[in-house]
Amino acid sequence: MIGKSPLSPLCQRGALFLPFQMGGQEGVPLKVCEIFTSIQGESTHAGMLCTFIRLSACNLRCSYCDTRYAYYEGFDLTEDDIVDRVRQAGIPLVEITGGEPLLQTGVYSLTTRLLEEGYRVLLETNGSMSIKELDKRTVVILDLKTPGSGMSDRMDLTNLEIIKHSDEIKFVLTGRDDYDWTKEMIRAHDLTDRCTVLLSPTFGALQPEDLAAWMIQDRIEVRLNLQLHKYIFGPERRGA
């Protein structure tokens, strides 16, 4: 029988059905979808070797989600188990992702543990949950959802008040409407002066050439963010 463990307030409000426990209490494992080493495909670290820790479960259902298998698939690993696997991989760059990693309260301890062991830790989060409790040494990649995702009304915009200069905000765009919305968000919150801003075309929906042309025309000071791993390994391959 699967026991209970602490859920985030979002889960406790009934916003999400989870068929398994969330890690956090001492001795309670985290639910992990997969751990693998590959080429980092996104962010300012694109092209570098990286070990990925993909935690299970997500509270959002984005229209373009490419990791739906992480909604429910997963296996239990303790923090020690996860750290051992990262050590075995032997790569100094680690990304914790999901799903939505902040749903599992054990992620905070895991992140600090990895940082204390000397790893550079990226944490990608979907923008719906507060990042304020994360270890400040963590590089947060905040995936701020655009209207085309169907989830833009679920964003916790207080995160924009505490974003660090070392963090990155990513906007995944499905078309011109998302681009125009994103430009207004960048302007309204002065984002380009506060952190790195990434614009990512939805793979197979928005052509990178079109997005690049809009950026050039508008002289917008952001970074074009392509999913490099999909161009290398193909869009359907897991663990890449």
Residue 30 burial by CB count (10 A; 0-12/13-18/19+): exposed, middle or buried? buried
Model confidence pLDDT, tens digit, residues 71-117 = 999 999 999 999 999 999 999 999 999 999 999 999 999 999 999 99
Q: Which of 163, 124, 114, 166 is nearest to 145 (CA)?
A: 124
Query: Within 13 Å, how many C-alpha atoms sit on residue 184's CB side?
Result: 7
**Residues 56, 32: contact at Cβ < 8 Å?**
yes
Question: What 8-state DSSP symbol labels residue 30?
Answer: E
Q: What is the pLDDT of residues 145-180, one digit of tens each?
A: 999 999 999 999 999 999 999 999 999 999 999 999
pLDDT digits (tens, 9 = 90+) for 172-227: 999 999 999 999 999 999 999 999 999 999 998 899 999 999 999 999 999 999 98
Per DSSP, 7 falls in state B
pLDDT at 21: 46
Q: Give the pLDDT band (50/70/90) at residue 4.
A: very low
The per-residue pLDDT for 234 is 74
Q: How far apart are the C-alpha atoms of 221 and 216, rounded to whole Å? A: 9
pLDDT at 228: 77
231 band by pLDDT with thresholds 50, 70 and 90: confident
Q: Please check the confidence at residue 26 and state whether its pLDDT lies above 80.
A: no
